[in-house]
Amino acid sequence: MIHTLYKTTNLVNKKFYLGVHTTEDIAFGCDNWEDPYVGSGHNIWAALKKYGRDKFQVEIVAYFDEEDYAYDAEKDIVTEEWLTKNKGVCYNINVGGNKPPRTTSESAKKANVNRKANGYRHSEEHNEKVRLSMLGKNKGKYDGEDNPFFGKKHSKESNQKNREKHLGIIPWNKGKKQTENKNET
């Protein structure tokens, strides 16, 4: 693996991003590199989307044998003072030296599934706060003439199509008792 401290420069507005990247692509930062990485973070990604990948140039500032050394070098350069001094001309948002957590989308999915499987539920207090915050948000929003369908009717053909579409579908609540608390089944 190759550990690099690199600088990505926007060729249109000359703004830049300084970061660390670990890759197996020995040509990273050269003319013929295959690794598509040019930086991370909201600002650089927004710029990539706006200007296109071909408007960015990556140059290697330094190579390191150990990943931790690369992050230490970034930490020494991208400080609070550096961010303040380069505000408006760089895409960096945070101080350097912070190694991102290594999580996979699979592990994130597992964590979410495990919360549900283990019976995780929001507290009654939380549910009540959410309910109260939503009260009246859409009240009257689509009443009367404000409703986009106001004064219109479905045609016979439309009603027939809708009926045929729903034939044979069993309602989700068929056979369930209606309770006082809607969250109980």
- What pLDDT, on the 0 to 100 scale, is given for residue 109? 58
Through-space distance between the first and last CA atoms of the chain, rounded to whole angstroms: 55
Residue in the structure block whose two tokens are 């973070």: 41
Residue 74 · residue 23 · CB < 8 Å: no
Most confident segment among 10-24, 92-106, 161-175: 10-24
pLDDT per residue over 74-95, tens digit each?
999 999 999 999 999 999 988 8
Rg (CA), the chain: 27
Contacting residues for 68 by C-beta, under 8 A, at least 6 apart = 99
- What pLDDT, on the 0 to 100 scale, is given for residue 131? 81
Burial of 39 (0-12, 13-18, 19+ CB in 10 A): buried
Q: Where are the alpha helices (DSSP H) in the chain?
A: 42-51, 67-77, 80-85, 105-117, 124-134, 156-166
pLDDT band at 181 (very low <50, low <70, confident <90, very high): low
Two structure tokens written together for 152: 């219109």
Q: Per CATH, which fold does 2-85 belong to?
A: GIY-YIG endonuclease (3.40.1440)
- Give the separation between CA 68 and CA 47, rounded to whole angstroms: 28
Burial of 147 (0-12, 13-18, 19+ CB in 10 A): exposed
